[in-house]
Structure 1
Amino acid sequence: MAWRFKASKYKNAGPKSLKREDTIQDVAVGTLMQSCGNHITASCTYMAFNTDFGGGGTLGVLPLQTTGKIAQSLPQLKAHADFVTGLEFSPLEDGFLATCSADNTIKVWQLPENITLENITGIQATVSFPVQERRVEIVTWNPVANGILAAAVSNSVKVLNAETAKENIVLSDHGDQIQSISWRDNGVTLASICKDKKLRILDPRSCSVCQECEAHVTVRDSRVLCLGNKDQVLTTGFGVTRSREIKLWDPRNLKSSIASLTKDSSTSTLMPFFDADTNMLFLLGKGDSNIQYLEVNDKDPYFTENLISSVEQVKGAALVPKRALDVMVGEVNRLLLLLRNSITPIPYIVPRKDYKEFHEDLFLDTACGESALTADQWLAGENGQVQLMSLNPAKRKTKQNNVSRKPAVQQKGDNSITNQSNLKSPLSVPSVPKSVPVPKSVLEPKSVPEPKSDTEPKSVPNENEVLLRKAQSCLRNVGSGDNQKVLNIKDTSDKAGKTENSDLNNQVESVRASKFFSGVHQSKFKHLNLTTLHPSAHIVNIRNLSRTVPGESNMFCANTKRCALPIDGPGGLLLILDLNKPGRLPDTGLPWIHNSSKVSDFEWDPFDDKRLVVGCEDAKIRVWSVPEEGLTETQTEPDFCLRGHTEKIYFVKFHPLAKDVLLSTAYDMTVKIWDLTNGGSLKINIVCHPDQVFSADWSPDGKYLATVCKDRMIRVFEPRTSVQSLREGPGPEGSRGARILWVLNGQFLFVSGFSRSSVRMVMIYNAYVLSTCLHTVELDITPAILIPNYDEDSATVFLTGRGDSNIFTFEVHQEPPHLFQMSNCKPEGLHQALAFMPKKTCDVRKVEFARAWRLTSTSVEPVSFTVPRVKTEYFQDDLFPDTKVTWEPVLSSSDWFRGQNKLQRKISIRPPDMKLLSEAPVEASKVKKFESFNPETYKSDEQKKEELMNAMVNKLSLQEEPMPQDLADGVDSDEWEEY
């Protein structure tokens, strides 16, 4: 059969018309800005698309299988400050979305599992690349290497590494704005097409242009697409007669195109979508009302034109990955069309007589979404190929779409698809030394009974065996607390009775590195209650609350007089509210603090209720003074600015003891300590962090500084003596964010973060031995960072994240396992942040041990944490020790920088008219009970158990006497009727 007459299996593939209820309705797409992107993208799990909600930087995000009316329930991702020009899901991990914008930024987002309107609110970008010099038009993932992105920025192609958030390669060989870029299927080269009319084949790792030629004769918008494994490049553009044309190129020789096809004279650029498995090519133009379906061949004729389908006016389109198709109904491709008010899936079905069996001839092995290279390997020059899988449901490898977590690094010998590394830090975490000893009482060897045997000789156990057996016995006797972590020690003896010394030593060291808890811990605060105070104390009708403040910020801060919160709008707006003036805010006319740049973080001075410090994305720290009567007009000029950072600020934090001492961190990976007196000056600059500093905290005595970094390390500094860390240790494995706190008078460090699988967790460390974590508690899978607040008097840590509905509470204790989870609190609705008040604001008459202000999307509400007690007329002195005066400084900044140290004084918060609970008279019944106690008649647990067992045996023993029913009169046999 001649080639030109060869029949295609996909010739009769056609679009299936769906019912209205099978599409997504009521999606307000609106008028989209002109850009080189396609406005919609899809993975096997999600779809994301441009909308006109919340300004141009907002994206709608939905599960791929969504149907029906969306209306006001559309989950929205506030991605950028300006219109999102390009977006694309990673082909190697369904939950990662790369976006670029007209605000000159590029970001990578990790979408949560089971997207809802609530859990996407306030989500922060996993990776934010440095701000570009010009508008970014396109962003696209490398199909082979994990975490490698290419972006078109004006006349440059930049290759970015999402693992390090850095630009690795810049290709500036283009003469004008780049209109489209596309990776070859092996991820080695790139094709680009530019406004200077030229098509280029780029080798980014050698920073060279391999081939270039003039593609289309006009400067109008063009597109380029590498056609899978066909080693061909397709371009769409406009010809001499201004008609739309398609050209096919051999990237090895660009002297002339190998095929050309002229279409109509419409003015919209054709968006090409190609499936390498079926050679099906779809062409759509923005504003068009039809879909053109062609097949691309390896020989002449290179293009076979098939169907043209009519649809509504198209605003954007995307091709769904093959792994998401319903292969059992003959679906070989699916387009997603972004229309004016809806999103319509267009499945292409190959008609067959029946679909009871899987049609192997229609579905070749396709990309499985598994990476072949890491980013470091690709940058080092290694090459790989797209990994394939069968679409046969009986043979298909199940790729778990771990959209809410970053996959772990693939282990040796693991052939599954679910353990691929993604966006991991290239820095390795050092091994954990085994340095925490077991308590002496556990390690003291006692006589171990040996088994009696007449045939086997008795062996005397060595010291290690005694230690191991004693540790095993201790573990078996440990009580079952809520948060207890049971250590599993394997038996080191084999069937022949031999012991491997190496295994034994390893397990003994594991025992030595463990702490044992030999009882059930009882906390006085375990059953704490949360109460939202009366609505008359609420501030309501907050409008346009900004949820784009970075995750390193608390987003909300308050003191005893006023609070500050971010508001959407140009120039970094902060709203200052007087907490003593509750009620409904007016709809308009509120005064702001205008920072002239987007706000990154802000904090009130703990020793001055009127001073507010704000860190901004323009690398400046602005210091403001709020009038005593509050803001009466918008403020635009701060008292002064601190300049020293070269990149945007991450967060700011005041010293807890010394006045006018401020700490700041920024994108330049430096930690700076400032003296705010006389206009501010930089005193200490710490530059040893290799990556972003997630969080920092001052020790209670003000001498030390603890940081947790994106390189997964915890560090402790004594900044006045050295800018190098005193000690380091491994922190949370997840790179999405973390927080750190000093607890228990500076003896321990409390850390909240994410595991490698993106599970939120809390950890506790000995502040002087950071080599190993003492205890870890995993909580849930939610993208929001857990922000901890510590109440020193009750040793309670309160944790919550943006968009959460729960407040987790833990008591930290010197006794292992150190973390004891208490009652979780669940106020009504979702909240964005909590700001805790000083201890002096607590109402001890109601046994209130903590008070906070809770920020929701539209209100600020006071909440109270209390402990249920019976005798509330007494001052609960067991709950309220003398508290530190945290609202008064003990040192000036000059004294602290000279090396002086001083601790805060303590005061009692007992009202003068309340008597102590410890001095309350004892009830007579209790006195009688204690007086009647006789140690000689006290029975042990074993005695009580034996008496109980004897009583039960006597009760259940057989009795010779007749049973009661035996004595009752029965029915004579002749009274029964036979049937």
Structure 2
Amino acid sequence: MSFRVVRSSKFRHVYGTALKREQCYDNIRVSKSSWDSTFCTVNPKFLAIIVESAGGGAFIVLPHKQAGRIAADHPLVGGHKGPVLDIAFCPHNDNVIASGSEDCVVKVWHIPDGGLIKTLTEPIVDLLYHQRRVGLVLWHPTALNVLLTAGSDNQVVIWNVGTGEALVHIDSHPDIVYSACFNWDGSKLLTTCKDKKIRIINPRTGEIESDAICHEGSKATRAIFLRHGLVFTTGFSKMSERQYSLRTPDALSEPIVMVELDTSNGVMFPMYDADTNLIYLCGKGDSVIRYFEITPEPPFVHYINTFQTPDPQRGIGMMPKRGCDVSSCEISRFYRLTNSGLCQVITMTVPRKSELFQEDLYPDTIGDSSAVTADEWMEGKDVDPTLISLKDGYKPPEAKKSITVNKRRNVLDRASAKGSKEASGGGGGGSEISDKTLQDFADEIRKLKAMIVKHENRIRALEADVALSKANADEDGPGGDGLNVVPPMASDEV
């Protein structure tokens, strides 16, 4: 007599639902770049998508209420001179977004609360270090204003965006870095590289703590840290079959789990929900989203279900848990970019009959407050992320982050203060202006003064010529030819 034991889990019945077309975002010219990026990032305020643009690189930022057909002339964020390759919203300030581009520059932008009313070309700060295109930007999970960037020059740089300074240079990779991920408290850094190796690095010193061959295939791999320290990877076998694996940091070369999925050639992006221990695998060019639950008992990675769609995806973004609708038991929300210009919204829900808050589905989740400053983190302080309860739903902070005064001016706080001041109509008091802006004003004034002096000299010379001609005409008297000859003035002397 045989019987099948059904594994007990509250996530065995997670269902995906695609919203109606009018609730999605249509007419978006998604980037045609072949770079392996998700092309999309999202937070409770905005949705940002890398788009095609002439004469440089740009991305569009949309408030969530602006669903439906997007106008072709909608304002963009467009200050890059080359195509944008990766974008990421700051986890501690929903109005701040970073972008990396083929022009080798990383830019950090401030998006006003209501969205853009005109094309934004002036970033808060430019981060200049990379010699080749920047294909990866990643914010630190707990430290304020700490940003990681990686370029095709094989360099990884960690910045203090608040001051525009590079804190750490990591030169440990012999080839292009495919992906990077911080662990739960941001004390370790996990990277995958074109040399097929996975590395765990101390992000403050750049020292490699352990490394191993990840997947045998030559195509791009991805790796993420799970909440309790395990490492989950996706990649390809020698036969170009797509795989995923689960490993412990102490034995990276010996996977606990290694599973072959299929023979598709699209890179798989693992999207991780730390609250539920669910991993969603979204392949580029796939028309499905597979999801798995990670548990402490074998086989550790449990397949749950597959969400099927009719068209393939070019990119995908995942909403942070604080942006999900707890009243409908929504545990995840995805934004799929398709080839037809549609950004499709998909909600993942656990059906429950009760309308009360489901505490087992929504443990305290990561909030939008930083746990440490950049300086404290660099000094060695490791703190878990600041958690918030979703019992009454997520309420964004009413007040803007206040200005912090220190020896090095914080450009992010200054821009936030400036934006809130302009939005409120100004008011008394002076605004803080950078030294570079003052220098630019001084240079313009100097040029104007020089131009005025030049024109004054020309006017004096012309007046002297006119007076001399008039005097000559008077000397000729009535018997003269009676002509007052005035030299013609060039058009630029008027």
The interval holding the TM-score normalised by the smaller chain is: 0.7 to 0.9
Q: Deviations over 1:709-753 (max 9, x none)?
A: 121211111222x3221111220111210111111x232000011
* Superposed counterparts of 1:29-428, under 5 Å: none
CA–CA distance in structure 2, aligned partners of residues 644 and 778 of structure 1: 39
Say which SS state the counterpart of residue 150 (structure 2) adopts.
strand
* Superposed counterparts of 1:759-838, under 5 Å: 759-838=241-320
Task: Check if 1:844 corresponds to 2:326.
Answer: yes
Q: CA deviation at 1:673?
A: 0.7
Q: 1:884 aligns with which of 366, 379, 399?
A: 366
Q: CA deviation at 1:480?
A: 11
CA–CA distance in structure 1, aligned partners of residues 77 and 157 of structure 2: 28
CA–CA distance in structure 2, aligned partners of residues 549 and 636 of structure 1: 25
Q: 2:172 aligns with which of 688, 707, 710?
A: 688
Equivalent AA in structure 2 for residue 671 of structure 1 = V
Size of the aligned set, in residue pairs, is 390
CA–CA distance in structure 2, aligned partners of residues 878 and 634 of structure 1: 44
Q: CA deviation at 1:521?
A: 3.8
Q: 2:350 aligns with which of 867, 870, 880?
A: 867
Q: CA deviation at 1:589?
A: 5.4
Q: CA deviation at 1:520?
A: 6.2
Task: Check if 1:905 corresponds to 2:390.
Answer: no
Task: Check if 1:529 corresponds to 2:15.
Answer: yes
Q: CA deviation at 1:794?
A: 1.1
Say which SS state the counterpart of residue 691 (structure 1) adopts.
coil
Q: Is the 8 A contact 1:591 1:632 kept in 2?
A: no
Say which SS state the counterpart of residue 175 (structure 2) adopts.
coil
Q: What is the aligned partner in structure 2 of residue 639 from structure 1?
A: 124
Say which SS state the counterpart of residue 840 (structure 1) adopts.
helix
Q: 1:671 aligns with which of 126, 146, 156?
A: 156
Q: Deviations over 1:185-231 (max 9, x none)?
A: xxxxxxxxxxxxxxxxxxxxxxxxxxxxxxxxxxxxxxxxxxxxxxx
Q: Is the 8 A contact 1:599 1:614 kept in 2?
A: yes
Say which SS state the counterpart of residue 651 (structure 1) adopts.
strand
Question: What residue ranges of structure 2 are gaps of 5+ in the alignment?
Answer: 394-494
Q: What is the aligned partner in structure 1 of residue 467 from structure 2?
A: none
Q: Deviations over 1:479-512 (max 9, x none)?
A: 999xxxxxxxxxxxxxxxxxxxxxxxxxxxxxxx
Equivalent AA in structure 1 for residue 148 of structure 2 = L
Q: Deviations over 1:63-106 (max 9, x none)?
A: xxxxxxxxxxxxxxxxxxxxxxxxxxxxxxxxxxxxxxxxxxxx
Q: Is the 8 A contact 1:564 1:576 kept in 2?
A: yes
**CA 847–636 in structure 1, closer or farther in 2 if over 3 Å, else same:** closer
Higher RCO by CA contacts (8 Å cutoff, separation 6 or greater): 2
Q: Deviations over 1:111-137 (max 9, x none)?
A: xxxxxxxxxxxxxxxxxxxxxxxxxxx
**CA 548–838 in structure 1, closer or farther in 2 if over 3 Å, else same:** same
CA–CA distance in structure 2, aligned partners of residues 563 and 911 of structure 1: 23
Q: CA deviation at 1:861?
A: 2.9
Task: Check if 1:566 corresponds to 2:27.
Answer: no
Q: Is the 8 A contact 1:527 1:868 kept in 2?
A: yes
Q: Is the 8 A contact 2:214 2:253 kept in 1?
A: no
Q: Is the 8 A contact 1:625 1:638 kept in 2?
A: yes
Q: CA deviation at 1:523?
A: 2.9
Q: 1:606 aligns with which of 91, 116, 132?
A: 91
Q: What is the aligned partner in structure 2 of residue 621 from structure 1?
A: 106
Q: Is the 8 A contact 1:746 1:767 kept in 2?
A: no
Task: Check if 1:895 corresponds to 2:376.
Answer: yes
Equivalent AA in structure 1 for residue 72 of structure 2 = D
Task: Check if 1:718 corresponds to 2:199.
Answer: no
Q: Deviations over 1:639-675 (max 9, x none)?
A: 2211111111121100011111011111111111111
Q: CA deviation at 1:707?
A: 0.8
Task: Check if 1:731 corresponds to 2:194.
Answer: no
**TM-score, structure 1 as length reference:** 0.38
CA–CA distance in structure 2, aligned partners of residues 648 and 900 of structure 1: 32
CA–CA distance in structure 1, aligned partners of residues 275 and 38 of structure 2: 22
Q: Is the 8 A contact 1:594 1:634 kept in 2?
A: no
Say which SS state the counterpart of residue 279 (structure 2) adopts.
strand
CA–CA distance in structure 2, aligned partners of residues 522 and 589 of structure 1: 48
Q: CA deviation at 1:792?
A: 1.1
Equivalent AA in structure 1 for residue 377 of structure 2 = W
Equivalent AA in structure 2 for residue 694 of structure 1 = Y
Task: Check if 1:596 corresponds to 2:81.
Answer: yes
Say which SS state the counterpart of residue 824 (structure 1) adopts.
strand
Q: CA deviation at 1:592?
A: 4.2
CA–CA distance in structure 2, aligned partners of residues 604 and 905 of structure 1: 17
Equivalent AA in structure 2 for residue 608 of structure 1 = N
Q: CA deviation at 1:692?
A: 1.6
**CA 848–791 in structure 1, closer or farther in 2 if over 3 Å, else same:** same
Q: CA deviation at 1:549?
A: 4.8
Q: Deviations over 1:139-195 (max 9, x none)?
A: xxxxxxxxxxxxxxxxxxxxxxxxxxxxxxxxxxxxxxxxxxxxxxxxxxxxxxxxx
Say which SS state the counterpart of residue 200 (structure 2) adopts.
strand
Q: 1:541 aligns with which of 21, 24, 27?
A: 27
Equivalent AA in structure 1 for residue 345 of structure 2 = P
**CA 766–545 in structure 1, closer or farther in 2 if over 3 Å, else same:** same
CA–CA distance in structure 1, aligned partners of residues 41 and 74 of structure 2: 22
**CA 589–575 in structure 1, closer or farther in 2 if over 3 Å, else same:** closer
CA–CA distance in structure 2, aligned partners of residues 591 and 713 of structure 1: 37
CA–CA distance in structure 2, aligned partners of residues 911 and 629 of structure 1: 24
Q: What is the aligned partner in structure 2 of residue 228 from structure 1?
A: none
CA–CA distance in structure 2, aligned partners of residues 883 and 751 of structure 1: 24
Q: CA deviation at 1:898?
A: 1.1
Task: Check if 1:582 corresponds to 2:67.
Answer: yes
**TM-score, structure 2 as length reference:** 0.75
CA–CA distance in structure 2, aligned partners of residues 851 and 816 of structure 1: 28
**CA 591–873 in structure 1, closer or farther in 2 if over 3 Å, else same:** closer
**CA 900–711 in structure 1, closer or farther in 2 if over 3 Å, else same:** same
Q: CA deviation at 1:862?
A: 2.4
Q: Deviations over 1:427-464 (max 9, x none)?
A: xxxxxxxxxxxxxxxxxxxxxxxxxxxxxxxxxxxxxx
Say which SS state the counterpart of residue 288 (structure 2) adopts.
coil
CA–CA distance in structure 2, aligned partners of residues 580 and 521 of structure 1: 40
Q: CA deviation at 1:619?
A: 1.5
CA–CA distance in structure 2, aligned partners of residues 711 and 627 of structure 1: 41
CA–CA distance in structure 1, aligned partners of residues 249 and 230 of structure 2: 5
Q: CA deviation at 1:534?
A: 3.6
Of all paired residues, the percent bearing the same amino acid is 32
CA–CA distance in structure 2, aligned partners of residues 905 and 668 of structure 1: 34
Q: What is the aligned partner in structure 2 of residue 169 from structure 1?
A: none
Equivalent AA in structure 1 for residue 26 of structure 2 = V
CA–CA distance in structure 2, aligned partners of residues 549 and 715 of structure 1: 25
